[in-house]
Amino acid sequence: MREIILSSKNLCKSFANNGGQNHVLDHVTLEIYEKDFTVIMGASGSGKSTLLYCLSGMDSITSGAVYYRQQEFSHYSEREMAALRAVEFGFVFQQSHLVSHLTLMENIVVPGYLARGNRFASGKRKKKEKAENVKLRALELLELMNIADAKDRLPSQVSGGEAQRAAIARAVISEPGIIFADEPTGALNRKNTEEVLNLLTKLNQQKQSVLMVTHDIHAAARADRLLYLDDGRISGEMTMSKFEPQEARNREVQINAWLSAMEW
């Protein structure tokens, strides 16, 4: 049986709109599985980012419930939510959002320090981890992301692709249960897109659960499960085998056909 890492029941989200209500998410019930690379696709404005923010507790929900490992967190206070996020959730956005006056290394270790000894920390991280261990892990990640040479530079002194790789290192420093990525390659050129996708794929091969929103069929080909969001409702799903580079083209063809059936 596959473990459910994240789920929602009848998740609704509305925004006030000129005196009325804009119902963006309409009773979304879904399950995201551990170790999966799940991708959410759908037309612009269908609610993909909103869904990601509601599932990660970054945004409040209007009604329904959201669960992390069967534990409902939709009623958590800001403080409890921040603590859960710090330990269990990693985030990557279209822009890297690195802190401009901190070096890449500093940007990566800070969330690692914040997650230590947090009450949501499980297993080996329950005890306050030594700062030295966080630093060692940051150095390993910098190597893995191929940006070790740039570790002492400020975000303004590295390329967009390097900054985005640092943002991925920052997202995984606290060894989160799941990484949320909203169009992580949306602002990158082809080469950097490939590097970022390869990193996410590599992390997923190491059993990291990933939930990514994308418009890009090429990026979506990394997924082993795809969900289609249509006007705030999940209207389709497709599962695939784990990504193999030699099948990339074939996977894109399959996704294209699926998207056509979804009237993308």
Residues that bind ligand ATP (CB under 6 A): 15, 22, 24, 42, 44-50
Tokens for 133, please give them. 């261990």
Minimum CB distance to Mg ion, residue 206 (Å): 27
8 binds Mg ion (CB under 5 A): no
Contact between 202 and 144 (Cβ < 8 Å): yes
Minimum CB distance to ligand ATP, residue 26 (Å): 11
Among 7, 49, 107, 118, indicate the residue that binds Mg ion (CB under 5 A). 49
Minimum CB distance to ligand ATP, residue 13 (Å): 8
Comparing CB distances to ligand ATP, the nearer of 67 and 264 is 264
- Choose among 77, 51, 78, 80: nearest CA to 66: 51
Minimum CB distance to ligand ATP, residue 152 (Å): 34
Comparing CB distances to ligand ATP, the nearer of 24 and 217 is 24
What count of other Cβ atoms lies within 10 Å of the Cβ of residue 231? 14
Comparing CB distances to ligand ATP, the nearer of 15 and 253 is 15
Angle at 143 between CA 241 and CA 197, to 5 degrees: 30
Comparing CB distances to ligand ATP, the nearer of 146 and 186 is 186
- Choose among 57, 60, 73, 56: nearest CA to 24: 60
C-alpha torsion 160→164→169→170, nearest 10: 100
Angle at 108 between CA 54 and CA 177, to 5 degrees: 40
Comparing CB distances to ligand ATP, the nearer of 159 and 256 is 256
Minimum CB distance to ligand ATP, residue 259 (Å): 14
Residues that bind Mg ion (CB under 5 A): 49
